[in-house]
Structure 1
Amino acid sequence: MKQAWLAALLVLGTTPAMADDAADAKAYQKSRAAVADLTRIVAPSGIQESYKTAIGGIDQWLYVRGQDKANPIILFVHGGPAAPVIPTAWQFQRPIEEYFTVVNWDQRGAGLTYRDNAPEKVAGTLTVARYVEDTIEVAEHLRKKYGKAKVILMAHSWGTVPAMGAALKRPDLFYGYVGLGQVISTRENERISFDYALAQAQKLGNQEALKDLQSIAPYPGQAPITRERIITARKWPQHYGGLSAYRSESTYYYGGPRLSPDYLPEDVQTIDQGNLFTLGRLLPEFVTVDYSRVATFPVPVVMFLGRHDYTTPTAPTEAWLRQVKAPYKQAVWFEHSAHMIPWEEPGKTLVSLLRYVRPLADGKLPD
């Protein structure tokens, strides 16, 4: 926490050299308050709500923001598993809220939903099918509460797994589907990601990386993809810019929740706790995910593709999008992004949503 306070002091423009803990804490709170004030919805037509509601037999947290309640709703299904976007939405979402009402949701086992439910009540429910049903229930809740005929379904990384399942099962709920860091085949993603890291390590003579990667080779191979193997496999592709383009680290993202106006400082720890709680339980099923045989998709589909994404590599998504039949389909390339598209290219994210997605809510196909 000391490190976070010092970072907050720098944001405020004060000098931390002589600051004591009390001053650090005060500056930290002022930093969070400044972010809260910047992101506060003040338009009379707007909406800013944070609440929990019963979804799938447990209380789950929703975070609803927009400058005009008449705008179409985006339901954003976060990645992970258990990587809630609520505590970092302040970094990129505000411009989107001028044209859409954005609903973020802490899934079961994630963030505030993890905090407010006894682990023993939730542990046995951590299945892909349950997350699919949760996504459907959230969409139905939003339609009813906010008087909308349908919502736009948008998902990132792990979240694309239950979101695609929901779109396939209940297309009547959705104007369209937007995938970022799309998972089509988990095993194929892991293979491509590993091969990229190995090639980079060999090219640059990184002996530490080579030792790590060779310790789990062949990967994924026929051995089980355990939590330990997948962590090792992800470390080096991300080091070589496969999570955030041109960056070996993503401090902006991992440190972002500390300044969140929507997570108390003590809530930030639920992010790692939720990840530990969910990943091991979901992993055996997650690694079997394969949507490559889905030949027909029932709603318009738009894929946002990071050119440098080696966390969920784009090749399987490209191949799937070429062959799938859908009412409308579009690939949008983000040339300066890897896996974290809205954070890395927020301007193009907004422009692309307006060009390719907003017309769908108006009953039109984009040009």
Structure 2
Amino acid sequence: MKRQWLAMGMIVAALAARGGELEDARAYQKSRAAVADLTRITAPTGIQESYKADIGGIGQWLYVRGQDRANPIILFVHGGPASPAIPTAWQFQRPIEEYFTVVHWDQRGAGLTYRDNPPAQVAPTLTVARYVDDTIEVAEHLRKRHGKGKIILMAHSWGTVPALGAALKRPDLFHAYVGVGQVISTRENERISFDYAQAEATKRNDQEALKDLASIAPYPGELPITRERIVTARKWPQHYGGLSAFRSESTYYFGGPRLSPDYAPDDVATIDQGNVFSLGRLLPEFVTVDYSRVDTLRIPVVMFLGRHDYTTPTAPTEAWLRKLRAPYKQAVWFERSAHMVPWEEPGKTLVSLLRYVRPLADGKMPAAE
């Protein structure tokens, strides 16, 4: 009898646990549905579509949203490598969609594009030059599909590497270039970021950080910047607020994809998978990126600079922009942001796009400050 009661108790406990899991699953689905409903575009003039296009010989995913098809198009080139913006765009983008049609794109080796293409086929194509050409192809595709003469090119972090290359190679495609967390010199960025982490760790007497940083010093030094070294080097400046200002963690960003209405739960895993797949292959070339000798750009340039950014430190970008010759150039400082400017200060992001970028798409020249 005792065994029967024990077995019955185990069954009841298992059913209760299963019931809790089902309740959690239902709550999760309801949360995703609420985000989907909030972000759903219902305006008759609007556009909301997600589809795969042939870019650079493989199917690559595009995500298009806006309240009015007549508005200028922003092509947003995500960071990483392989950190797609589609699954977290719902956190900051909705107000921007009232004034622009915004296009996100899962680059080769990233997110849904990584999911849908054989890795063996894609791996040999992971070069900066190929990403530059992909950016150009996406821009041409959007111009043709939406009947636009030009579009706005906006890029974040790693995405600024191929995007600036595309702006230099095909300025005829773009009204303007907007860099967020701009990469000018990867090695200089790594040096500044490391020095910041060491200074903060010393000030805080953070022995764990000091020991960790000492293990890769001098950094970057003369040794190759391997995946292991760059992960260690990025860990501490980001912990001290160099990724998201005044935060040691960025849970809002890394956890955000789970609520995305555009990524199924199973698709969220492709973010980390694509990052691991792409970073190691791109890193040797990425660490040699140096745009510091570029002194002319034939389109207007606007830089969004996070005051506390020590993921891609702003000093090289500020110095580069000062000497750059361009039809128009403007630095916009975000005092409460580090690296994640659109996520950290979405209001100022919108206001800055309207003040400095929208006029350029309308053929006007805003006053430089």
- TM-score range (shorter-chain normalised) is over 0.9
Q: What does residue 123 of structure 1 align with?
A: 123
DSSP-derived class of the 1:333 partner: strand
Taking the TM superposition and a 5 Å limit, the aligned residue runs for 1:27-46 are 27-46=27-46
Whichever residue aligns with residue 107 of structure 2, its letter is Q
Whichever residue aligns with residue 164 of structure 1, its letter is L
Whichever residue aligns with residue 99 of structure 1, its letter is Y
Structure 1: gaps (5+ residues): 1-16
Q: What does residue 184 of structure 1 align with?
A: 184
Whichever residue aligns with residue 366 of structure 2, its letter is P
Shift of 1:141: 0.1
Q: What does residue 8 of structure 1 align with?
A: none
Q: What does residue 359 of structure 2 align with?
A: 359
**Partners of 2:299 and 2:226 in 1: how far apart?**
34
Whichever residue aligns with residue 264 of structure 1, its letter is A
**Partners of 2:314 and 2:80 in 1: how far apart?**
18
DSSP-derived class of the 1:20 partner: helix
**Partners of 2:195 and 2:153 in 1: how far apart?**
32
Residues 126-169 of structure 1 deviation map (CA, whole Å, 9 limit, x = unaligned): 00000000000000000000000000000000000000000000
TM-score by length of 2: 0.94
Taking the TM superposition and a 5 Å limit, the aligned residue runs for 1:149-188 are 149-188=149-188
Taking the TM superposition and a 5 Å limit, the aligned residue runs for 1:216-255 are 216-255=216-255
**Partners of 1:114 and 1:122 in 2: how far apart?**
9
Structure 2: gaps (5+ residues): 1-16
Q: What does residue 88 of structure 2 align with?
A: 88
TM-score by length of 1: 0.95
Taking the TM superposition and a 5 Å limit, the aligned residue runs for 1:2-13 are none
RMSD: 0.9
Q: What does residue 340 of structure 2 align with?
A: 340
**Partners of 1:19 and 1:28 in 2: how far apart?**
14
DSSP-derived class of the 1:79 partner: coil
**Partners of 2:203 and 2:27 in 1: how far apart?**
45
Q: What does residue 289 of structure 1 align with?
A: 289
Shift of 1:19: 6.5
**Partners of 1:281 and 1:298 in 2: how far apart?**
31
Evaluate the alpha carbon distance shift between residue 199 and residue 281 of structure 1 in structure 2; reply closer, same or farther with a 3 A threshold. Answer: same
Q: Whose Rg is larger?
A: 2
**Partners of 1:89 and 1:322 in 2: how far apart?**
31
Q: What does residue 57 of structure 1 align with?
A: 57
Q: What does residue 350 of structure 1 align with?
A: 350
Taking the TM superposition and a 5 Å limit, the aligned residue runs for 1:94-109 are 94-109=94-109
**Partners of 2:95 and 2:299 in 1: how far apart?**
26
**Partners of 2:122 and 2:131 in 1: how far apart?**
12
Shift of 1:298: 1.1
DSSP-derived class of the 2:221 partner: coil
Shift of 1:238: 0.3
Taking the TM superposition and a 5 Å limit, the aligned residue runs for 1:122-141 are 122-141=122-141
**Partners of 1:71 and 1:234 in 2: how far apart?**
38
Q: What does residue 206 of structure 1 align with?
A: 206
